[in-house]
Amino acid sequence: MPDAPADLQRLIEAGIRDVPDFPEPGVVFKDITPLLADPASLKAVAEAMAAPFDGRVDAVVGLEARGFILAAPVALELGAGFVPVRKAGKLPAKTYRESYDLEYGTATVEMHVDAFAPGSRVLVVDDVLATGGTGRAAVELVHRAGGTVVGFSVLMELGFLKGRDRLTGVGVHALTEA
């Protein structure tokens, strides 16, 4: 169920193009680069993703890779710090690791152990909520670091994949749904 007003949903839908058979046959990739290229659209999206969490956030976690792009302006909007959650082996200091299942195999993401102070209120941001595996892994990393997840904010939710179900106990704020 989309949380953005109809005019913002239309703006988002106009800025996302479907790329069939990418990265593999049968997948329709949601390319957000046209939306990101328009400064007014990017600003509107960052404001809308941040709005429900104003005054409630100490840090914003962004998921690699496109979640980084949205999380940084959301963090600025909220006056909070930005924390990257990256694929295994990409961060230089001591990390917490969390693995999750993919359709064929597993993947691992990491976050620095000192990314934020224990007790911090953390918003998790990504571009698309699909199956929820990466999101659940990020939530677990925040908990392991002693933070409290105040929400999960995404540009788009692929509702038919039921990723929200894997984020039990976390409020999901999705601007639009596909």
Question: Concatenated DSSP letters for 107-141?
Answer: EEEEEETTSS-TT-EEEEEEEEESSSHHHHHHHHH
Residue 96 included in any domain: yes
Query: In sequence order, what are the beta bridge partners of 149?
Result: 122
- Buried-state track 116-137, b at ≥16 Cβ within 10 A, e below 16: beeebbbbbbbbbbbbbbbbbb
Residue 103: its pLDDT value, please? Answer: 66
Pairwise pLDDT comparison (6 vs 51), residue with the higher score: 51
103 is catalytic: yes
Domain range holding 152?
6-177
In a domain, 97, yes or no: yes
pTM as predicted: 0.95
Report the CATH number at residue 159: 3.40.50.2020
Active site residue 86: no
Q: Is residue 156 part of a domain?
A: yes
Residue 1 lies in a domain: no
How much is the pLDDT for 27? 86
Reported as a single tens digit per residue, the pLDDT across 112-155 is 999 999 999 999 999 999 999 999 999 999 999 999 999 999 99
Q: 68-101, pLDDT tens digit by residue?
A: 999 999 999 999 999 999 999 999 999 999 999 8
51 part of a folded domain:
yes
Given 17, 24, 64, 66, which residue is catalytic? Answer: 66
- Give me the catalytic one of 47, 64, 86, 103: 103
Residue 29 falls inside a structural domain: yes
Q: Does a structural domain hold residue 88? A: yes
pLDDT value at 161 more than 70? yes
Q: How far apart are CA 86 and CA 108, in angstroms?
A: 9
Counting the structural domains of the chain, the total is: 1
Is 105's pLDDT higher than 80?
no
